[in-house]
Structure 1
Amino acid sequence: MPAHFVRHILSAVVSIAAWASPGFSFSQQIPQLDLPRIELRAGMHRIVAQVASRPIERQIGLMRRDSMLPFEGMLFVFEHPGVQCFWMKDTTLPLTAAFLADDGAIVNLVDMQPLDENSHCSSAPVRFVLEMHQGWFASKGLKAGSQLSGSIFNKKE
């Protein structure tokens, strides 16, 4: 067999072995770019958010992303309300997390620094967390009590 085929086969075997090893995780290597997207609004401001609704999607979040458009974010959707806590492991973009009530009202906002492994938590049980570029909410005058809208949120009657 020619030497270049042997090198190619060995390279493939090493790659497969790395994927199969207990410590390997796709979340350590590949940013999530292909999640479904939803449009949200904060008054006249448009947000295009990737939706992370499965446990593995929420675990990976915005890890390994090196850029994001100014109006983009990620919406984390949980099955049940709870005190949700986030950290910035392997996340290099400075972010603000908006912890959201079922109707889209901002419960609290937390600025998070790149690669910080400290927990940043909601001040009350929530099902939704929206991560945007750090400063995005402040630049739009949004704070706790401000209302976001979108088809995913329950409307108050």
Structure 2
Amino acid sequence: MRCFAVAMACVALAGGAWAECSPDRVELRGDWGTARFTVEVADDPDERALGLMHRESMPSSAGMIFIYEAPQRVHFWMENTLIPLDMIFMDETGTVQRVYENAIPLDRTPIPGGDDILAVLEINGGLAAQIGISEGSELRHPGLPQEVAAWSCAEE
């Protein structure tokens, strides 16, 4: 119940006036409303390889966004990752293509994200469902190509 209350606070906070896009924040929207997460950016091979490994906890309003140089087929796994995570896979427009919920800590089984994935957002396990994030939801972040973004940083 506490986790649900925190998730709803995250959605409620996002409902106010939007600040400009920032590298340390992602915003998501859908028919469920809007949400905002403070993120670390993993946009080079070393950062993407390390990800959220070895962390014992993460604030509920936090996450990590993995951004690739070009859309591609991606697979993730949970080796050395100690907390359950939701993985949200987006195409180059920032449109959610797949949500994988509650990835099992320390599991080495590959988690396929699909083809033509440009970015992946990892948040605490269970939050995507609690908030309502699903296929078709849209994410905005300045690291995505703004000229094709479904929800660009220029929009309010």
Category of TM-score, reference length = shorter chain: 0.7 to 0.9
Matched with 2:3 is none
Aligned-CA RMSD value: 1.8
2:112 is the alignment partner of 1:121? yes
2:50 counterpart of 1:60: yes
> TM-score of the superposition, structure 1-length normalised?
0.72
SS of corresponding position for 2:128: helix
Supply the distance in 2 between the matched residues of 1:128 and 1:84 (Cα, whole angstroms).
9
Q: Which runs of 5+ in 2 are unaligned?
A: 1-21
Unaligned runs of 5+ in 1: 1-35
Matching residue of 1:69: 59
The 8 Å contact of residues 67 and 143 in structure 2, kept in 1 or not, is answered as: no
Matched, 1:85 2:49: no
The alpha-carbon deviation at position 77 of structure 1 amounts to: 1.0
Across the two proteins, how many residue pairs are aligned to each other? Answer: 122
Cα offset, 1:39, TM superposition: 0.9
Q: Tell me if the contact between 2:23 and 2:143 (Cα under 8 Å) persists in the aligned partners.
A: no
Query: Between Structure 1 and Structure 2, whose CA radius of gyration is higher?
Result: 1
Matches within 5 A, 1:103-118: 103-111=93-101, 112-118=103-109
Give the match for residue 24 of structure 1: none
Distance across 2 between alignment mates of 1:138 and 1:116 = 21
1:149 aligns with 2:140: yes
Q: Which has the higher contact order (CA 8 A, sep 6+)?
A: 2
Aligned residue for 2:130?
139
Q: Distance in 1 between matches of 2:141 and 2:100?
A: 21
Distance apart, 1:151 and its partner CA? 2.2
Question: Which structure shows the higher strand fraction?
Answer: 2
Alpha-carbon shift at residue 150 of structure 1 (Å): 2.4
Instruction: Name the structure where helix makes up a greater proportion of residues.
Output: 1
> TM-score if structure 2 supplies the norm length?
0.73
Deviations 1:111-147 (A, max 9, x none): 3100000000112221101111111111111111111
CA distance in 2: counterparts of 1:128 and 1:75, whole angstroms:
7
